[in-house]
Structure 1
Amino acid sequence: MKLFSPPLILFLIFILDPLACEEKSSKIQSSKERIVELPTDPNNKAEEEIKITDIETEVIAARQTNDNTIKDQLVGVYFMPSWNTSPDPNRDIDSFWSCLMGLEDCSSIKNTAVWGPRGRVYDNRYPYEGPFLDRKPHPSLGGFYKRDDPQVARKQLEYMKSYGIDFFAYNWFFGRHYYYHRYFGPQSTLYYPEGWQIDPNRDGRVAVPGLEEWNEQLTVLLQENEKLPPEKQMKWAINWCDDSDDRWRLWIDIGSPESISAGRNYEGEKPDKALYLKVHEKITQLWIDKYFKRSDYLKSEDGRPIVYIYFPQDTESRAAFYGITMRELLDRSKVIAVRNGLKGIKFIAVASGAMLPRERQYGMPTQWRANNSKEIWRGGQYVNRLLFQNYVPRLKGMGFEGLTAYVYHNFLSLENRSFNDMRRTYQSHWNRWSEFYKNDPNFEYQVPVAMGWDYRPAGGTWPQTTGFPSEPEKDRVHSNKATFKAKLEDAKKLSEKYQSSNGSTIMICCWNEYLEGNHIEPTEGHGFSYLEAIKEVFLERRMGFNPSPLVSVASSKNP
């Protein structure tokens, strides 16, 4: 998943008197016991302490077991939402379908922020190779379906369940910069924690900004899921994608002279540390109020809701600008969960990155530094970059209890130029991180699997401001049912070998990453073949069927 620009969301802003509100900032103190102080109410009128070490001791004790039997794998799949890219509210241009069908309406290839002033440039050396109609969803799904079609959502849930997928991790996005008005009809239903401060003199303008983005499909999926009998419902989890630099730049623009002049903000609204922490608390409270208490939300064996965090280095870097560690952010969320009657939250990192010293400039940043600390809206730089193998050992200390991946593109000098290459790359990561964590029963490596990679519908791998992709040869990582099934077999075998540390979860990318060539959802091109492979490896094994022969890496051919 690679995103470059958030959608434009229009809100009516009422320009009245300046907002006058003062909030005491929440405090996080570092100490031997890592005590986190949080307000007991949203207006910060009182404070109480919760000792994180006490919570962790109970959680660890609850997870420990003497059961060494091999358990069936839990199979998860990432679900990527699409969105409307049209500036005209009366016209819907789906971010996926528009790029599969041609060039005219594809916003990905017109994105000047990543492709340069001319957008993606096609010529004899870098020709257009679309349209990509073999990726059109299967007729049983209605072809290029509408994102919020309940019948499509029900079919998707039905296919996942019947073909052996246990849960989906929905790629969840949050625009933390959006202010809205509780007394304005279209915005009155947007989530805001009960009792939190608003300005009645500005049509109920919220004191703490931020709202969910691209959640249309999640809403309809959950509505349809709860209509099903319990035994047919899918479990699901949040995969928080806090990776967009565009969203960060919109956040740091809060209260800038331009934003105040344009009426987007009022005097006194600024993206300082106190507001950053309040927005994080709002995100956590939203998860609790809307999702965690649902019976279909994925939970750990000890009953804690599981949250995946995609590219944690991005969240870490931006928090570090305020002097906040990732550990403090995650601990803050765990405390809020406990206060709301839950047992905490289990966080899993979804991470990958550059591994060679010559690639350090593309490494995983740990800090964002403003060009001008007094005028942060002028931008900044991501600094203190680490290579992936140096970043991973830090995860447990950051508050994570597991690691998995979305897509591995390389392992040291091994790079993906075919599906055979990808299988070798993945096996190298599997072995390294399974061995690394094998003696740690409190940190799991969830074995990731991907069906391939082909970014051509979005312009190619990787976008450069010259208008051309830098490595288009990597857009031929294609599998078929046999080679994908062989990769699943390898993943299953390794997961069983290291089950004492890896747990029993296998994460598949992806249900519907159509622009990246990772889409196991049935299509006109590959039909149900990828779902059939999952069913044969996982579901039929549970029912006692014998496995089909493996296809080795050495003998399999890249179709």
Structure 2
Amino acid sequence: MKIFWPYLLIFGILVTDPEGCEQNSNDEGEDNTSQTDISSESEIFQENSVEPSSSDQMRTSEGLENESKQMIGVYFMPSWSTSADPNQDRDSFWSCLTGRGDCASLQNTATWGPKGRIYNRQFPYEGPYLNRKPIAELKGFYKRDDPAVARKQLQYMKSNGIDFFAFNWFFGRHYYYHLYFGPQSKIYYPEGWKIDPNRDGRVAVPGLEEWNEQLEVLLSENLKLPAAEQMKWAINWCDDSDERWRAWLDVGSPESMSAGRNYEGEKPDKALYLQVHDKITQLWIDKYFKRKDYLKSDDGRPIVYFYFPQDTESRASFYGITMKELLDRSKALARKNGLNGIKFIAVASGAMMPNERMYGMPTRWQANNPSEPWRGGRYTDRILFQDYVPRLKGMGFEGLTGYVYHNHYRQDNKSYADMRKTYRSHWQEWSEFFKNDKEFEYQVPVAMGWDMRPAGGTWPQQTGFPSEPIKDRVHSNKSTFKAKLEEAKKQSEKYHSSNGNTIMICCWNEYLEGNYIEPTEGHGFDYLEAVKEVFMDRRTGFIPSPPASVASSTSP
């Protein structure tokens, strides 16, 4: 979910530009249409468009209580408008699926070089990618804040065996705003915290949520559903953007002062960094943790997923702050507010070969010029993934899972068969590593594939071309995805006594990375049906017969 394009966030007249958490295409389905699927696409749509009944949900709840107690989660990626015009909405997903001209990720010179993404006769544009268009029941290329769409999404998740979604949550720590100014008056600020009444209630501690339109409407619609039909959800904090970090360091710089973005005394020092961290935690507590639908551990602690913790660790090191200090600080603040703490789960992956250390996981950030850190710096002290994982518990994490595994040592993904091998290797390595530690769990991750062509390809280079386009053909179908889910279920059950019971699926809607189980015109309800057949139907006692040629666990 690495985000490679600049974006715009608009709060009234507050316009921002930070950075984020990643066809005609018959070739998009490497095996996209299984011959074993006996239902036509239209039949699938009709069958699955029925609203789930309360009795169905009660059976689901009973299954969770009385059967394997497997918890199935899915990551949810928000989209945003890339238009500088507040009166025009240019969705970051749909603009890249429908063509090239308005796709911000293809025009991003920071990642693709001065000309943006380059296409030519040898390396032609392969879009548009219209088979990724959501189904008519979701209104096609829907609006992010449409309550009817959000309600359908929640119902589709619940009725197909998904227990919770982990929402990719972003926070811009550098934004100052004014509580006495109408368009900004409703932006969250902790009660009783200092403001400047002489500057329209300018906040003393900056920072605000980004891209939270979809979360707000999802949560609003969730509470309108009967209790048995509501989804659980959790935060997946994506503090992974170097551009956002640079914007933070620019607070109080000479350029920022002369442009009127900051006032005297506003500077990104250690004290303010910690205050912003406290503000983030307090926001979670006040807005989210006390909700009945927030995901909690068995002992009642809210669960927070933490995407790519190495990014936060390396930047905090600039102030001499450790990751353990940050997590302990959040846990203490939660206890101060009447909670039992917070359970943090790391979402991580990385290079594993010694010759890839230059791409390893950084643990420090050093300014090129310590007196002018906003000019930039470098990430140093990089370590390989297998050396990073054993450090997680000491940082304060109580679990590990993944978003997308691209490799395991020399094994990398050029097909879905490759991806399944990569995942099996990670599952086995980390399940075994943590099997005797009942205070740390490995949540088995699953992905439906990988194809970043709508965003330019894998991976962006300053030359204007992707470095590994061969990796943009990792495509599954219902059969191969279902087989992977079956493997994940067996792996999770085998190590259940020590490693918990959660399986994480990537993703509900990572449309630009080729990871989307949300129903689309291209694959209908295939992926949700696979989840339902592996997990939900077994809970309720119905085990469908597999198709005659369904992929086995050893034959992708």
TM > 0.5 between the two? yes
How far 1:387 sits from its partner (Å)? 0.4
Q: 1:76 is aligned with what amino acid?
A: G
Residues 290-338 of structure 1 show CA distances to partners (whole Å, capped at 9, x for unaligned) of 0000000000000000000000000000111100000000000000000
The answer to whether residue 167 in structure 2 is matched with residue 170 in structure 1 is yes
Aligned to 2:469: 472
Tell me the number of residue pairs that the alignment of Structure 1 and Structure 2 aligns: 502
Aligned to 2:552: 552
How far 1:524 sits from its partner (Å)? 0.1
Higher relative contact order (CA 8 A, sep 6+): 2
Q: Secondary structure at the match of 1:552?
A: coil
Aligned to 1:122: 119
Aligned to 1:450: 447
How far 1:13 sits from its partner (Å)? 9.3
How far 1:376 sits from its partner (Å)? 1.0
Residues 106-165 of structure 1 show CA distances to partners (whole Å, capped at 9, x for unaligned) of 001000000000000001222110000000001110000000000000000000000000
Q: Is the 8 A contact 2:6 2:104 kept in 1?
A: no
Residues 331-389 of structure 1 show CA distances to partners (whole Å, capped at 9, x for unaligned) of 00000000000000000000000000111111000011011111111111000001000
How far 1:529 sits from its partner (Å)? 0.3
The answer to whether residue 457 in structure 2 is matched with residue 460 in structure 1 is yes
The answer to whether residue 251 in structure 2 is matched with residue 248 in structure 1 is no
What do you get for the CA RMSD once the two structures are aligned? 1.3
Q: Where does the alignment leave 5 or more consecutive residues of structure 1 unmatched?
A: 15-68
Distance in structure 2 (CA, Å) of the matches to 1:188 and 1:399 = 35
How far 1:250 sits from its partner (Å)? 0.3
Aligned to 1:239: 236
Q: 2:205 is aligned with what amino acid?
A: V
Aligned to 1:426: 423
Distance 1:551 1:12, change over 3 A: closer
Q: Is the 8 A contact 1:75 1:508 kept in 2?
A: yes
Aligned to 1:72: 69
Per the normalisation by structure 1, the TM-score is: 0.88
Q: Give the alignment partner of residue 519 of structure 2, picking from 518, 522, 526.
A: 522
Aligned to 2:335: 338
Q: 2:325 is aligned with what amino acid?
A: E
Distance in structure 2 (CA, Å) of the matches to 1:97 and 1:11 = 22
The answer to whether residue 188 in structure 2 is matched with residue 200 in structure 1 is no
Q: 1:2 is aligned with what amino acid?
A: K
Distance in structure 1 (CA, Å) of the matches to 2:537 and 2:442 = 24
Aligned to 1:32: none
Distance in structure 2 (CA, Å) of the matches to 1:423 and 1:451 = 10
The answer to whether residue 280 in structure 2 is matched with residue 283 in structure 1 is yes
How far 1:11 sits from its partner (Å)? 6.8
Distance 1:186 1:534, change over 3 A: same
Q: Secondary structure at the match of 1:183?
A: coil
Q: Is the 8 A contact 1:451 1:509 kept in 2?
A: yes
How far 1:502 sits from its partner (Å)? 1.6
Q: Is the 8 A contact 1:5 1:246 kept in 2?
A: no
Q: Secondary structure at the match of 1:220?
A: helix
Q: 1:140 is aligned with what amino acid?
A: E
Distance 1:11 1:171, change over 3 A: closer
Aligned to 2:305: 308
Q: Is the 8 A contact 1:6 1:247 kept in 2?
A: no
Q: 1:177 is aligned with what amino acid?
A: H
Aligned to 1:348: 345
Q: Secondary structure at the match of 1:212?
A: strand
Q: Is the 8 A contact 2:487 2:553 kept in 1?
A: no
Q: Is the 8 A contact 1:83 1:94 kept in 2?
A: yes
Residues 196-223 of structure 1 show CA distances to partners (whole Å, capped at 9, x for unaligned) of 0000111100000000000000000000
Q: Percent identity?
A: 77
Q: Secondary structure at the match of 2:512?
A: helix
Aligned to 1:144: 141
Q: Secondary structure at the match of 2:209?
A: strand
Distance 1:11 1:139, change over 3 A: closer
Q: Give the alignment partner of residue 263 of structure 1, picking from 256, 260, 264.
A: 260
